[in-house]
Amino acid sequence: MTKADIIKEIQERTNLNRDVIKIVVDNFMDIVKDNMSKGENIYLRGFGTFLLKERKEKKARIITRNETIIIPPHYKPFFKPAPEFSKSVKTNLSVKSN
């Protein structure tokens, strides 16, 4: 599913103006990105959490140049679904596969 598909689905469910929905979706994504880039986690009860996971420094190799490089410590965004979210996905997918 793409962002355009999400906007279309919301429009069908709510009968709101497509342009307004696009603005809301774009702003939601901007807020998540901006706050995570400031080091904040985003908690959406019943849906999940957007977390920052710390990655430690490590060595890597560039095989084509036969060179070893150091990847510095950094943070990586991660999504952890809420238990209700996970249960819903598991239940619905197991019903479809049978």
Domain that holds residue 20: 1-40
Same domain, 36 and 47: no
CA–CA separation, 3 and 1 (whole Å):
7
Same domain, 7 and 28: yes
Task: Answer whether 82's CB lies under 8 Å from 48's CB.
Answer: yes
Q: What is the pLDDT of residues 42-91, one digit of tens each?
A: 999 999 999 999 999 999 999 999 999 999 999 999 999 999 999 998 88
Number of domains in the chain: 2
Q: Mean pLDDT across the stretch 1-20?
A: 96
- Structure confidence at residue 97 (pLDDT): 59
Q: Which amino acid is at 70?
A: I
CA–CA separation, 87 and 91 (whole Å):
6
CA–CA separation, 33 and 27 (whole Å):
10
Number of Cβ within 10 Å of residue 8's Cβ equals 14
Same domain, 51 and 76: yes
- Does the structure show a pLDDT above 60 at 98? no
Same domain, 68 and 96: yes
Task: Answer whether 11's CB lies under 8 Å from 21's CB.
Answer: yes
Q: Which amino acid is at 31?
A: I
- Structure confidence at residue 91 (pLDDT): 85
Place of tokens 């904040």: 40
Angle between the N-to-C axes of helices 18-37 and 3-14, in degrees from 0 to 180, rounded to the nearest 10: 130
